[in-house]
Structure 1
Amino acid sequence: MTAPNFSSASVLDALNWRYATKMFDASKKIPTDTWSALEQSLVLAPSSFGLEPWKFFVVDDTAVRAKLLEASWKQAQVVEASHLVVLAIKTGLSEADVDRAMARTAEVRDASLESLQGFGNVIKNFMKNVPDVDGWSTRQTYIALGQLMVSAALLGIDTCPIEGFMPAQYDEILGLSEMGYHSVVVCAAGYRSEADKYAHLPKVRFPVEDKVQHI
């Protein structure tokens, strides 16, 4: 597989164009093929040991999204955006999850489970020494969020990450607890409204030399 051919300028243009969209144009929907690529960007997100301790719930049902609005401090992005993704962790990650990951690796790479046993044991030992596995999984999930947002920007799709919601209520409305998952962060995606004043404001960041230091 050859390396992609994005220019430095095109990547920076996309990232400067991106902002946390406050108002979406509810009449505009993300094309199916574009959304499929964004779903794949989530699946392709890196995770420690390749465990993928998450699942991404795309909420299509407008009635359900209306319920989520109440559990999101009435942030309109939840119902106005073309798509809404709830990024959730698999709670209580266990050795069985490690075994499943090793089995998948063996399948995809045409390797024997025996050849992966040592690696699997390393992961299991690591997990035994992590004081808060769910906290670790939560931090992993933000990697996927970042990848989704950058991928969207490169495709000209607006996003808004949302932490201002009530996870317990989301879990109840979506039935996540029964499935063994817990909501961590939400991302709305679609197209910005021309009425969103934040779309026209300069991006505020400290200078590179203030935030990046070479040692």
Structure 2
Amino acid sequence: MFTDVLNALNWRYATKRMNGQSIPQATIDRIVEAARLAPSSYGLQPYTLLVIEDPELRAKVQQQAAQQPQLSEGSHLLVFATWTTLDEHHVDEFIALIANEREIPVSELNDYSSAIKGTLETLGDTAAKQQWAARQAYIALGLTLTAAALEGVDATPMEGFDPKELDRLLGLPEKNLNSVVIAALGYRDETRDDTAGQAKVRRPLAQFRQLLA
């Protein structure tokens, strides 16, 4: 199984051109489920995953993302959006969810609730909370890229877009959301992608890994 993961990660790359083929819904569902199961600090998951299939909407997003062709040539677009506000109300909802899923009284989670609220208080202002939430979203992005590779689906993560304009286009402020990173999903077009088939370049393991005594 682990060999399968390594093979998938060696197979994937940041695909530059896609062939327009649609991804089956069942495959999309599995990729999204992998994102949902991603770890986050305290398990709070202070972000929402938006899944966009509509070609016209993806074309509009492309206008805010340096005209990157994967957005229109792909099958789906994922938008990882953090919560604009993050406060005790969200913690209370999360604690209630835990209590319900594990069939335990909310009172048994008082210490855990206090720990989460204490962390949010320590973070302080909205900007710091946004940065913290964004780090959690990037963990989910990593799981998404891995899951897509295991499914034989190409996934290209992108930061090259105008967040404010994308938020406006998708109506995110009204939903208490703020876009952080996006990923185009589809299938590579090796006839038009000059980077297809190139050797994967990563720092050698001896440089990447440092063993501390």
- What TM-score, normalized by structure 2, do the two folds share? 0.95
Give the aligned partner of residue 115 of structure 1.
108
For residue 9 of structure 1, report the CA deviation from its aligned partner: 2.4
Gaps of 5+ in 2: none
Q: State which of 130, 134, 143 in structure 2 corresponds to 1:134.
A: 130
Moved over 3 A (4+): none
Secondary structure of the corresponding residue to residue 200 of structure 1 = coil
Give the aligned partner of residue 153 of structure 1.
149
Quick check: 2:53–2:75 contact (8 Å CA) kept in 1?
Answer: no
For residue 109 of structure 1, report the CA deviation from its aligned partner: 0.5
Give the aligned partner of residue 143 of structure 1.
139
Letter of the aligned partner of 1:54 in structure 2? Y
* Alpha-carbon distance in 2 for matches of 1:62, 1:24: 14
For residue 197 of structure 1, report the CA deviation from its aligned partner: 1.7
After TM superposition, the structure 1 stretch with the greater mean CA deviation from structure 2, 62-71 or 143-152, is 62-71
Alignment of 1:60-99 (within 5 A): 60-99=53-92
Alignment of 1:24-39 (within 5 A): 24-26=18-20, 28-39=21-32
For residue 61 of structure 1, report the CA deviation from its aligned partner: 2.0
Secondary structure of the corresponding residue to residue 186 of structure 1 = strand
Instruction: Say whether residues 1:199 and 2:196 are aligned partners.
Output: yes
* Alpha-carbon distance in 1 for matches of 2:4, 2:79: 29
| TM-superposition CA deviations, 1:173-199 (whole Å, max 9, x none) | 000011000000000111100221211
Secondary structure of the corresponding residue to residue 123 of structure 2 = coil
**What is the alpha-carbon root mean square deviation over aligned residues?**
0.9
For residue 116 of structure 1, report the CA deviation from its aligned partner: 0.5
Letter of the aligned partner of 2:55 in structure 1? T
* Alpha-carbon distance in 1 for matches of 2:53, 2:113: 37
Secondary structure of the corresponding residue to residue 141 of structure 2 = helix
For residue 29 of structure 1, report the CA deviation from its aligned partner: 1.1
For residue 60 of structure 1, report the CA deviation from its aligned partner: 2.0
Letter of the aligned partner of 1:45 in structure 2? A
Q: Determine what percentage of the aligned residue pairs are the same residue.
A: 40
- What TM-score, normalized by structure 1, do the two folds share? 0.94
What is the aligned length?
Answer: 208
For residue 89 of structure 1, report the CA deviation from its aligned partner: 0.1
Letter of the aligned partner of 2:53 in structure 1? D
Gaps of 5+ in 1: 1-5
Letter of the aligned partner of 2:112 in structure 1? F
